[in-house]
Structure 1
Amino acid sequence: MSRSERLLDLIQILRRHRRPVSGLTLAGELDVSIRTLYRDIATLQGQGAPIEGEPGLGYVLKPGFMLPPLMFTDEEIEAIVLGSRWVAKQPDTRLSAAAADALAKIAAVLPDDLREELDATALLVGPSAEATREGADLGIIRKAIRAERKLEMTYQDASGTGSRRIVWPFALGFFDKVRVMVAWCEMRQDFRHFRADRISELAAIDTRYPRRRAAMLKEWRATLDTTRKL
């Protein structure tokens, strides 16, 4: 591995850690000595990378640091193209348009050789099974999730019984045929999964729910091994 590749790998490793990580841990992941790791940290800092920390305390990369697009590997380009093409085929029209726009923006700043690789990638997304027609505007759900806002809706369960609900949405699952909103339900006082095709009269409430989305997501994940509610 060349030194430039190692420096890039070091940036990528730091990106994965939100909290300070020790030099020994970083050196172990890169398979280099601790002295080499310290030199690499100093080199990146000298080139403008906002790495904070010091020996004995650990290091962290401040958010917002952008790598030049020429640093994409072949596999990373394939992943970007494949993911964008899959999202572009989803029934959420705004999200699919955003995926196409994002891919165009990436292509616009890539060097010529990498742009050719992006255009010529052989990883294709085939036609999906016919999806169930959405009952809810997924854009409203996604916006509420980002803003941590409550939603009011009418929901029809599997037996056809409708009920009026106020929920705290924090995740949206994309499956082959259905989309599923994961939320805390005020009526049930528990986590619930709501199929988007069974949601009607959906409206955002200009009220922030009293918990953080990340905390609810963590709690919900912990329940999956013992309880699954559809």
Structure 2
Amino acid sequence: MRRADRLFQIVQILRNKRLVTAHDLAERLEVSERTIYRDIQDLSLSGVPVEGETGVGYHLRYSLDIPPIMFDADELEALVLGMRIIKVWGGSELGNSAQSALDKIQAVIPEELKNHIDDSKLFALGFGRREDLETTLDTCRHAIDGFKYISIHYKRADGMLSQREVKPLGLFFWGNVWTLTGW
């Protein structure tokens, strides 16, 4: 049995929601217990929520099941365009997350819909985008999520430079302009 198949089988066995020992897994999969210990460790490092300990048994902390989701071509195109906009205008962290989400969607959709994504003629361009935008957006998002203050430097209406400590509450996108709300 290939290693990838064995890892998949271990996850399937652990989905039963009862404790399974390494000995039981080793017998069932016809490998050594030591191999099972390595596989369990590798699954954990890969983000599979395996819980347990040697001699007692293993199980999944929570279910890995997700409901099946199927998109039609228009829904996929809307998601692709949204992700492309985020990659250009949403900061580096959200941009990377958008690409990761798109990769996951492409991994599970039928081939004809994969072709539809690849052939999409809707794009997001970054004309007028400032170079420091990604870092600024990431900083603001973290401050909003963490309820933290940030220091901003800006030009007042009278042209004077000013600095303030603000607690950001939200970010709003207006096409090619971001607005930070806060107090």
The 3 A distance-change label for structure 1 pair 91 and 143 is closer
Q: For residues 147 and 66 of structure 1, what CA distance do their matches in structure 2 show? A: 28
Name the count of aligned residue pairs.
118
Q: Show the counterpart of 2:100.
A: 101
Summarize the alignment of residues 175-194 of structure 1 with structure 2, pairs less than 5 Å apart.
175-184=174-183
TM-score by length of 2: 0.53
The residue number in structure 2 matching 1:125 is 123
SS in 1 for 2:95: helix
* CA shift digits 1:161-198 (9 cap, x unpaired): 233322121111223443221112xxxxxxxxxxxxxx
Give the structure with the larger strand fraction.
Answer: 1
Instruction: Point out where structure 2 has 5 or more consecutive residues left out of the alignment.
Output: 1-64
SS in 1 for 2:123: coil
Matching of residues 36-55 of structure 1 within 5 Å:
none
Q: Is the 8 A contact 1:131 1:176 kept in 2?
A: no
What is the correspondence of 1:130-169 to structure 2 with a 5 Å cutoff? 130-134=128-132, 137-169=136-168
Q: Decide whether aligned partners of structure 1 residues 159 and 167 sit closer, same or farther in structure 2, where only a CA change above 3 A counts.
A: same
Structure 2 counterpart SS, 1:89: helix
Tell whether the 8 Å contact from 1:129 to 1:176 is kept in structure 2 after alignment: no
CA displacement 1:55-88 (0-9 Å, x = unmatched): xxxxxxxxxx94313x212221111011111222
Equivalent position of 2:75 in the other structure: 76
Separation in 2, partners of 1:118, 1:169: 36
- 1:28-67 to structure 2, matched below 5 A, reads 66-67=66-67
SS at match of 1:125: coil
User: Paired residue for 1:89?
Assistant: 88
**SS of corresponding position for 1:121:** coil
Paired residue secondary structure (1:160): coil
Query: Match of 1:137, SS?
Result: helix
User: Which residue identity is paired with 2:125?
Assistant: P
Look up the equivalent residue of 1:127 and give its one-letter code. Answer: L
Matched, 1:113 2:112: yes
Query: Which stretch shows the higher mean deviation, 129-138 or 164-173?
Result: 129-138
Does the CA-based 8 Å contact 2:151-2:164 persist in structure 1? yes
Give the secondary-structure state (helix, strand or coil) at the position aligned to 1:82: helix
SS of residue in 2 equivalent to 1:79: helix
For 1:94 and 1:156, locate their aligned partners in 2 and report how far apart those are by CA, in whole Å: 28
Which has the larger Rg? 2
* Distance in 2, Cα, partners of 1:162 & 1:130: 23
Q: Please state if 1:173 is matched with 2:172.
A: yes
Identity %: 31
The C-alpha deviation readout for 1:39-60, integer Å capped at 9, x for no partner, is xxxxxxxxxxxxxxxxxxxxxx
Q: Distance in 2 between matches of 1:78 and 1:170?
A: 31
Distance in 2 of aligned mates of 1:134 and 1:128: 13
Judge conservation of contact 2:84–2:124 (CA < 8 Å) in 1. no
CA shift, 1:140, in A, is: 0.9
